[in-house]
């Protein structure tokens, strides 16, 4: 069973999907009395005061004052030297850096955590991370599990410092009033600080499905022709994808050598990053469409779900999953480059595409197949 949308319905659906996609990817600056929800970047500027922060964001930066707690998940959580959090901090992030003051506790899971020499934490520190540097003041106890832990010369812990690490270093100048205790049981509890893999994988799958739906709604015929590239000439598509992945960054780097070329290169890298994402989604969708056609299924929506969900499952396989995802990326990126080239040539009036659409031609807008030689081709 396939889905069909009128032009009006398609505009409404696309608008809704675009808003959702922008909410998950576009960075914005937020400063308010109470910050909650999702955003790209949340910043409390120096001189500003908010009551609390509870959000999911690309980064959370505190240069001003938060009178309550800060909690959430982010790529980066940074309490600047001028920043003050009167409550506690709890969250998960790729990088956590505390240069300012925190009145309460700090509970965090991160790839890297730094408590610098200008930092003060009024409560306890309880963290799990890949690497930890403590070089500031902690009035309470510290409980740390990490691969690498360093107590710097300015570290001052008012209570006990209990840790589990593969590598632990304590500077002779560091002071720990309650003593330093190695506790192997801490490592087993690190998972409580980390974002579960299924959460990140689920978010990635939803974002990819959202992007794929937008592409299929906006460019149904273009998407079908792109599937044809992958099905009919996979070696060529994969080779072009590999060439694109290698050559484009080199060219953009050369453009950036000149001052005039820097803005162009920045825009180019952003566009190329988006193209890689689109190529990955198209590659997985195309392989899903090819696989379903082997069992007589021609629905594009089912192909999108099957391809993306299938690769999410395969991606969990160590090494092999990564190689399969790379292969899908190369196929999708190459097919995208080939079809963009053909579309450009056609728009320049140099004649029709130089590739015959032999994937039993294409899918029409309802998601069903148009027979070879048919005239339905909306791009």
Taking the model in full, what pTM does it have?
0.50
**What's the pLDDT at 262?**
75
pLDDT tens-place string over residues 251-301:
887 877 766 777 787 888 888 889 999 999 999 999 999 999 999 888 999
Q: Which residues contact 9 (CB under 8 A, 6 or more apart)?
A: none
Q: What mean pLDDT do residues 115-141 have?
A: 94
Q: How many CB atoms are closer than 10 A to CB 26?
A: 11
Please give the structure tokens belonging to residue 209: 């499905």
Extract the tokens encoding 56: 């999911």
Q: pLDDT-based confidence at 354, cuts 50/70/90?
A: very low
The kind and range of the H/E element at 141 are none
Q: Supply 153's token pair.
A: 């010369």
Q: Which of 298, 299, 301 is nearest to 309 (CA)?
A: 301
| Token pair for 360 | 């039993």
**What is the rounded CA–CA span in Å between residue 79 and residue 66?**
10
| Percentage, residues of the chain above pLDDT 90 | 48
Q: Which two tokens stand for residue 105?
A: 């506790």
| CB neighbour list of residue 236: distance below 8 Å, 6 or more residues apart | 229, 334, 338
What is the C-alpha end-to-end distance of the chain, expressed in Å?
23
The domain spans of the chain are: 40-192, 197-370
Contact indicator for 180, 163 with CB cutoff of 8 Å? yes
Q: Where are the alpha helices (DSSP H) in the chain?
A: 7-25, 197-218, 220-232, 234-255, 261-293, 300-314, 320-347
**Cα distances (angstroms) measured from residue 327 to each of 73, 97, 282, 291, 337:** 31, 37, 12, 15, 15
pLDDT at 27: 37
Examine the pLDDT at 4 and tell me if it is beyond 70.
no
Distance of alpha carbon 254 from alpha carbon 171, whole angstroms: 45
User: Which residue would you say has higher pLDDT here, 92 or 170?
Assistant: 170
pLDDT at 2: 47
8 A C-beta contact, residue 142 and residue 182: no
Cβ atoms of 307 and 288 within 8 Å: the answer is yes
Helix, strand or coil, per DSSP, at residue 184:
helix
Any idea which residue has 């632990």 for tokens? 168
């Amino acid at each position: 069973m396939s889905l069909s949308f009128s032009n009006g319905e398609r505009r409404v659906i696309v608008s809704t999907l675009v808003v959702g996609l922008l909410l998950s990817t576009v960075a914005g600056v937020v400063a308010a009395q109470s910050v909650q929800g999702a955003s790209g970047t949340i910043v409390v500027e120096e001189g500003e005061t908010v009551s609390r922060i509870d959000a999911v964001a690309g980064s959370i930066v505190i240069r001003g004052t938060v009178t309550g707690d800060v909690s959430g998940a982010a790529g980066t959580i940074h309490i600047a030297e001028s920043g003050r959090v009167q409550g506690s901090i709890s969250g998960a992030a790729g990088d956590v850096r505390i240069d300012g003051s925190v009145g309460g506790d700090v509970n965090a899971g991160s790839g890297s955590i730094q408590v610098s020499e200008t930092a003060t934490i009024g409560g306890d520190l309880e963290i799990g991370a890949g690497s930890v540097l403590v070089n500031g003041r902690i009035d309470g106890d510290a409980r740390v599990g990490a691969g690498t832990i360093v107590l710097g010369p300015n570290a001052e812990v008012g209570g006990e410092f209990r840790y589990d690490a593969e590598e632990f270093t304590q500077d002779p100048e560091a002071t720990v009033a309650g003593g330093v205790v190695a506790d192997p049981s801490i490592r087993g509890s690190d998972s409580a600080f980390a974002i579960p893999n299924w959460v990140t994988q689920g978010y990635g799958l939803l974002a990819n499905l959202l992007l794929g739906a937008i592409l299929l709604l906006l460019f149904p015929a273009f998407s079908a022709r792109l599937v044809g590239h992958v099905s009919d000439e996979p070696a060529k598509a994969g080779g072009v994808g590999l060439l694109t992945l290698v050559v484009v960054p080199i060219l953009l780097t050369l453009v950036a050598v000149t001052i005039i070329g820097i803005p162009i290169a920045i825009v180019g890298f952003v566009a190329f990053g988006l193209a890689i994402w689109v190529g990955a989604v198209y590659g997985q969708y195309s392989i899903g469409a090819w696989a379903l056609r082997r069992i007589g299924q021609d629905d594009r929506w089912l192909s999108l779900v099957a391809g993306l969900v299938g690769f999410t499952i395969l991606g969990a396989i160590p090494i092999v999953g990564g190689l399969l995802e790379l292969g899908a990326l190369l196929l999708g990126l190459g097919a995208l480059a080939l079809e963009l080239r053909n579309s450009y040539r056609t728009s320049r009036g140099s004649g029709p595409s130089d590739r015959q659409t032999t994937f039993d031609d294409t899918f029409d807008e309802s998601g069903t197949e148009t027979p070879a030689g048919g005239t339905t081709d909306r791009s």
